[in-house]
Structure 1
Amino acid sequence: MRKIIVLGCLIGASFFVGCNQTTEAEKKAENEGQPKELEMYEESELALLMREMYEDNLVLKTQIENGEIPESFPEDFYNIHTAIASKGMISDTAAFNVYAEQYLVNMKKITEASDKKQAKIAYNEMVMTCASCHQIYCQGPLPKIRKMKIKIDE
């Protein structure tokens, strides 16, 4: 009887040990799904500039909605042509520069508007330029950009 109990314990123990061991293939499969080293995302100059533009343009939107026509816009916005983009984000710099230049033209139109309605129209044109560019290069911010539009009362 004692031999049967010992034999049963040995079989049970070997079963648990055998089921608990992982094969080399299983270990490799587990490790393939995990990155070797975490890489911290660092925003590019262009991404940081565009975040600044977004925040400043929300302030601009409020001013225009309150009937104020801004006299200028931040000089930093001119860096849109020279700010370094995220790697692989902008493959056609010529097309990007056309959008960037149109953005600056629209910003100037806002400051040159003769009345509130013209300022709203120019602001919305600026927003649409941003949306058009982001439709091609980086769709992530599109929902936020589209919400920037100003309702124009007739």
Structure 2
Amino acid sequence: MIKHVSCIFLIVLFFSCNSSEKTEKKVTIVDGAERYDVYQGSEMAILMRGMHAFNLELKKEVQSGTITTEFPEEFLKIHTAEFSEAKSRNKTFDHYSGQFIEAQKLVFAEDSIVPLSERYNTAINLCITCHQTECTGPIPKIKKLLIK
């Protein structure tokens, strides 16, 4: 009996994970008699917000001269995270995201002769350069990550 339940669970899990159907992500908030549909970000948007938050903290560490964190492997999801329905992965994005990952890893390289703040700014400038090609909205927020 337990084998059958486990088998059915695995089949359902497999098909739910492989579903290619995209659903619009909205949350409905009720405030008294008013209903608001609130946009929920795509996997990519959520990942990039996380990257921003991480780099905001990393900026403080770079400015202090000591990094206590490591390269977050979560950033590698940039190669697979789903975009919103209005956007799609393209060669330009793939190019810049690959360069960003390499530059971000170099921030944590202890044996580099390039100054830490310069390596950090290189990674952030790659974000800006990529965003100049398509999704320009976050550029002012990203520019605040730069070390002057």
Structures share fold, TM-score greater than 0.5? yes
Q: CA RMSD in A?
A: 2.1
Contact 1:44-1:85 within 8 A present in 2 as well: yes
Going from structure 1 to structure 2, the CA distance change for 1:117 and 1:94 (only over 3 Å counts) comes to closer
Q: Give the partner amino acid of 1:60.
A: L
Please, which of 35, 40, 51 is the counterpart of residue 53 of structure 1? 51
Gap regions ≥5 residues in structure 1: 1-36
Q: TM-score, normalised by structure 1?
A: 0.67
Aligned to 2:116: 119
Aligned residue for 1:133, secondary structure, equals helix
Moved beyond 6 Å, runs of 4+: none
Contact 1:68 1:116 in 2 (8 A): no
Alpha-carbon distance in structure 2 between the residues aligned to 1:70 and 1:97: 29
1:62 corresponds to 2:60: yes
Partner of 2:16: none
Partner of 1:106: 103
Deviation of 1:40 after TM superposition, in Å, equals 3.6
Number of residue-to-residue matches in the alignment: 114
Decide which structure has the larger Cα Rg and report it.
Answer: 1
- Does residue 94 (structure 1) correspond to residue 102 (structure 2)? The answer is no
* SS in structure 1 at match of 2:115: helix
Distance 2:138 2:75 in 1: 18
CA distance in 1, matches of 2:57, 2:113: 16
List runs of 5+ in structure 2 lacking aligned partners. Answer: 1-34
Aligned identity (percent) is 37
Instruction: Tell me the distance in 2 between the aligned counterparts of 1:120 and 1:113.
Output: 13
- Is this contact kept in 2: 1:89–1:137, CA < 8 A? no
Q: Which protein is richer in helix relative to its size?
A: 1
Go from structure 1 to structure 2 and tell me whether the alpha carbon gap of 1:100 and 1:128 turns closer, same or farther (over 3 Å shift).
Answer: same
